[in-house]
Amino acid sequence: MKLLVFAHTPPPHHGQSYMVQLMLAGFGGDCRRARVTNPHGIECYHVNARFSRGLSDVGEFQGAKMFLIFWFCAQALWLRFRYGVKNFYYVPAPGKRVALYRDWLVMLLCRVFFKNMILHWHAAGLAKWLETATTIGSRAATYRLFRPVDLSIVLSRYNVADAEKLLSRHIRVVSNGIPDPCPDFLNTILPRRRECFAARQRIFAGEMPAASLTVNILFLAHCTREKGLFAAAEAVLRANRDLAARRVPMKLQLIAAGNFVTAGEQDEFDRLRQNVDFAAAVQHAGFVSGERKAALYREADLFLFPTRYLGENQPVNLIEAMAFGLPIVTTRWRSLPEMLPENYPGLVNGQEPDEIAAVILKVLAEKSGERVRRHFIGQFTIEQHLAALAAALRSVEAEAA
């Protein structure tokens, strides 16, 4: 099966671009550059449709982006006729007007030349956004330019509503998946997880250790209010005040890893850092990758992600946290509850610091992280993801036949 992949890879680095990168690598890369045999039977022809240079201009209007749209579409049409690629793979926009207008133009220029349209829904919430934040004309234009959608690949049951909104003929649920970042988990990470969990249990049971225990809380995402940075910081401060009031010999330390997207939020964070208590409890590690990122996951005791991001769907950071066997506290938002084991206690309703603080302490007392590690192995490995994704893609030509 020949597949025109109209999507960008890092940079900028975020979950969507990373998953496109993993898909291309798993399917043998761009066939124009190297013909690599892969067991999935998908030949990719890649248009690296990178419209943004950094996180701050993702979804923002810039004049140069208009030229890029025509340039990328010209590449797609050349590949269509040069290599006979009839299947068009596209990642639709989240609920942002400029991004939606970009999608309209791409569909207008390319849709008619391809036999099959395949949408991979990495963001969630477009259906609701179209109904509540746009005009009837915008909704009608979206339906008219995208249809017919032969296949929509969604990440979760929550995500199905977005695919249904564009009247997709077929919908397949395929979870994200990543290479196991710690294949030696049983020998190198699990012993530390159990040791730290046992130490926390003894303290919560009333035992007094020789020295106060420091618990590392990791926030790893874009450093924005929507993603939950400020709620996470305030929750850690309130949890520390609660522990001090009860004379529990334990202190929480938040490590926030990731880039700031706006200068205003970075300035706000810097002002908060002038407070002595805030500076003592909250550190900013900046953007991390590779071994530094893996070290933060290994050394953490809990992963905190109280996101309310509009397009949040199945974030890779939660999958990575599960892979490292980290207890998790996150929000009942979009697809996130579906990602975690059934009846998982680490869910909060929103970004209320008092609720988050209480759930952090509950999870620290009750969870070692072994359960979420097993959940990762059972549902979110790269092998499972690529096999399911390839089966969904091949189904388009099977249905046509």
Residues 174 and 189 in one domain: no
Cα torsion 151, 153, 156, 161: sign: negative
Output the average pLDDT for the chain: 92
pLDDT tens digits for 42-86? 999 999 998 766 554 454 545 567 889 999 999 999 999 999 999
Q: Does residue 324 surpass a pLDDT of 70? A: yes
Q: What would the mean pLDDT of 237-261 be, rounded to a whole number?
A: 96
End-to-end CA distance of the chain: 13
159 pLDDT more than 60? yes
Q: Which residues contact 2 (CB under 8 A, 6 or more apart)?
A: 31, 43, 45, 83, 84, 85, 86, 87
Instruction: Kindly report whether the peptide bond that precedes residue 92 is cis, defined as omega within 30 degrees of 0.
Output: no
pLDDT above 90 (res 353) = yes
95 pLDDT more than 90: no
* Domain total in the chain: 2
CATH number at residue 238: 3.40.50.2000
Residue 401 has pLDDT above 70, yes or no: no
The answer to whether residues 143 and 70 belong to one domain is yes
pLDDT over 80 at 394, yes or no: yes
Which domain covers residue 225, as residue numbers?
Answer: 185-379
Query: How would residue 382 be classed by pLDDT, with cut points 50, 70 and 90?
Result: very high
DSSP code, position 111:
G
pLDDT at residue 400, as a whole number: 65
What is the share, in percent, of the chain residues with pLDDT greater than 70?
95
Whole-number pLDDT of residue 148:
86
Measured at the CA of 133, the angle between CA 130 and CA 135, to 5 degrees, comes to: 75
| β pairing state of 213-220 and 302-305 | parallel
Q: What does the pLDDT read at residue 51? A: 76
Residue 87 and residue 15 in one domain: yes
156 and 223 in a single domain? The answer is no
For residues 197 and 341, state if they share a domain: yes
Mean pLDDT across 265-288:
96
Residues whose CB is less than 8 angstroms from the CB of residue 82 and which lie 6 or more positions away in sequence, other chains included = none
The reply to whether 107 and 44 lie within a common domain is yes
pLDDT of residue 272: 96
Give the gyration radius of the chain's Cα atoms.
Answer: 22
Q: Could you give the CA distance from residue 24 to residue 36 in angstroms, rounded to a whole number? A: 11
Contacts of 22 (CB under 8 A, 6+ apart): 177, 178, 179, 382, 385, 386
In the structure encoding, which two tokens stand for residue 377, read together? 């192995």
78 in the same domain as 133: yes
Q: What is the largest CA-CA distance in the chain?
A: 73
Least confident stretch, 76-90, 118-132, 211-225, 227-241: 118-132
pTM as predicted = 0.92
pLDDT tens by residue, 135-146? 899 989 998 898
Is the pLDDT reported for residue 35 higher than 80? no
361, 266: one domain: yes
Residue carrying structure tokens 């400029």 = 98
Is the pLDDT assigned to residue 271 strictly greater than 70?
yes
Query: In terms of domains, do 189 and 201 share one?
Result: yes
pLDDT at 98: 86
Question: Do 365 and 393 share a structural domain?
Answer: no
Q: Average pLDDT, stretch 370-392?
A: 96
